[in-house]
Amino acid sequence: MTIEGWRGRAGASNMIESRITKEEAFSFLLTYIVVDQGRTVELDPVTLFNLMRIAGEAELVVNREDGVIPHEVIEEAAKAWIAELDA
């Protein structure tokens, strides 16, 4: 069974309801950095790896913790990454 099939299976007992996927977090992260912050990002392998790692961490936080707002979690992670670049 594929991951999509497992996620979509009704009544699966060990499923955690997902509020956001890693791909959605990555999309929002890139949009925030490039559009909202006006930054240029070269997606070389190292940068892509780092941004996917950040998106994955944001996904985990959003899906595990109640009451967090997804875009705020991702924006804070993006701000931290930008601060590292600027340091």
* Residue 74 in domain: yes
> Confidence class of residue 5 from pLDDT cuts 50, 70 and 90?
very low
Residue range 9-66, pLDDT digits in tens: 444 444 557 899 999 999 999 999 999 999 999 999 999 999 999 999 999 999 999 8
Amino acid letter, 46: V
Using DSSP's 3-state secondary structure scheme, residue 59 falls into helix
* Residue 78 in domain: yes
* Residue 53 in domain: yes
Res 15: pLDDT: 54
Res. 2: pLDDT tops 80 = no
* Residue 9 in domain: no
Res 18: pLDDT: 83
Res 1: pLDDT: 42
Counting the structural domains of the chain, the total is: 1
DSSP code per residue over 20-46: S-HHHHHHHHHHIIIIIS-------HH
* Residue 69 in domain: yes
Kindly report the pTM of this predicted structure: 0.77
